[in-house]
Amino acid sequence: MSRESDFQPAMSRRIVASLTGLGLAGFVLFHMLGNLQVFEGSDALNTYASFLREMPILLWTARLGLLAVAVCHIALAVQLVLRNRRARPVGYAVREYRAASMASRTMAISGSLLAVFIVFHLVHLTGGLVDPTIPYRVDAQGHLDVYGKILHVFKNPLYVGIYVVGQLVLGLHLSHAVSSTVQTLGLEHAACNRLFQAAGPAVALIVVTGNLSIIVGIFLGLVHT
C-alpha cells in the first residue's frame, strides 16, 4: 500500500484518537472538580456520590460510554504508534529533540503507565479489591461514607505515593495531548497559536494541582473527620 493510500485512514484514526482523548480529558477535569468537594466536608462529598448512585441507568451508561471511549482511544493510539514505527523501522543515529518537548517524546510511555494507573484506581477505590482495610460505612444521612473511605486511603503513605506518581504521569500525558489535539483537528490560527499551545499545560496543571491538593491535604491532616 502506498503512502498516499494509507494517509487518509491514518489521518482519520488520528482525528478519532484526538476526539476520544479530548473527551477523556474533559471527564478527568470534571471528575477532579467533583472530588474537590472533599474540602467542603463529608456531607457535601457523600451527598454528591449518593446523587450519582441514585441514577443507576445514567451512571452505568456514563461508565460504559467512558469505557468504550477509553478502549477506542487506547486501541487507536497503539495502532498509530505501531504505524509510525513501521514507517521508520531504523532508529535515528542521532536524535534531535530541540523542537519536541519531553511530554511529546514520551506519549507512548506515559499513556501506557496511565492505563495501568487507571486500572489500579478502579480496582482499588471503585472496586475495593486492593485494600481490605478500607471501611464501608454509612453516614448520618444513610449515604455511603465515601468521604471516610478517601480519608482512610490517603493516610497510607504507600497509596499516597502511588497516586502522586499517577497524577504526575497524568499531567505529563495531558500537557501534550490537549495541545496536539488542537493541531490534529486543524484549529490552529496565527493569532491564537500561543493560546492553543498553552491549553495542554494549563489543563494538566489544573487537574494535577486539584488532585494533588486532595491527596496531600488529607495526608498532612488538613482534611479530617
For the stretch 21-75, pLDDT in tens is 888 999 999 999 999 999 999 999 999 988 888 887 877 888 899 889 999 988 8
Record the cell numbers describing residue 19, joined without a space.
Answer: 476526539
- What's at 122, amino acid-wise? L
Percent of the chain that is helix, strand, coil (3-state, to 5): 75, 0, 25
Mean model confidence pLDDT for the chain: 83
- Classify domain 3-219 by CATH number: 1.20.1300
Task: Tell me how far CA of residue 33 lies from CA of 26, 39, 202, in angstroms.
Answer: 11, 11, 15
Is pLDDT of 1 > 50?
no
**Given a cut of 50, is residue 94 above it in pLDDT?**
no
88 pLDDT band, cuts 50/70/90, is low
Angle at 167 between CA 97 and CA 122, to 5 degrees: 125
Return all residues near 68 (Cβ < 8 A) that are at least 6 apart: none
Percent of the chain clearing pLDDT 70 (strictly above): 83
More confident residue, 224 or 191: 224
The DSSP call for residue 40 is G
What is the dihedral angle through the alpha carbons of 52, 54, 58, 64, rounded to the nearest 10 degrees?
70
- In DSSP terms, 138 is beta-bridged to 144
Residue 211, pLDDT above cutoff 90: yes
**Could you report the per-residue pLDDT of 137-162, keeping only the tens digit for each?**
888 888 889 999 999 999 999 999 99
Is this structure's pTM higher than 0.85? no
C-alpha cell at 87: 514507517
